[in-house]
Amino acid sequence: MLVVFLGAPGAGKGTQAARLAAKYGLPQISTGDMLREAVGAGTVLGDRVKAIMAAGDLVPDDVMLELVEDRLAKPDCAGGAVLDGYPRTRGQAETLDPLTRRLGLGEVNLVLMLDVPEDEVLQRISARRQESAGGNGRDDDRDEVVIERMRVYRERTEPLVEYYRATGALERIDGVGSVDEVFDRLDAAMRTTVQR
């Protein structure tokens, strides 16, 4: 079972992907977390992507494909995975199914689009930034970076909604409400897909 989460920065993808992955016994693959860890650890990959991420831009498709392929090839992904933060461009989406087929994982079964209005997303990111003030806040939550991330999302990731709608895998989920309310909607879509 391969599940992809789509949604604007701050829509709640990471929180909900972790919960869904735990419930269905699938690994959550958060490319954002993987990249932030690489930057924090000062790895070769981290050094390569640090400036790109700090500017709010997307890491190049070839780098992301290599990162995702390496992770999906691990034994814990044999039954599938929940992908959080990948794909983010049409190029990434077009290479994902050939990659997963080559690894023996089949194709993407379900794409969960967390639909959250932009003003709500900006409020959530602002709240996240305030909660972590003086602590370990994310560099990509700074105002100027958030504005750029939203622009990049609209330009490069939003078109994936139509791409996945055409495949029949897309489920739009209302992402406004409590964490539990949103999870219940996602879980219902997941159960329906599992039962097919």
Catalytic center residues: 13, 88, 128, 138, 149
Which of 77, 11, 78, 22 is CA-nearest to residue 190?
Answer: 22
Beta strands at 170-174 and 2-6: parallel, antiparallel or unpaired = unpaired
Per-residue buried b or exposed e for 53-79, using 16+ beta carbons within 10 Å of the residue's own CB: beebbbbebeebbebbeebbeeeebee
Helices 61-72/44-54 angle, 10° precision? 130
Which of 54, 78, 72, 57 is CA-nearest to residue 139?
Answer: 54
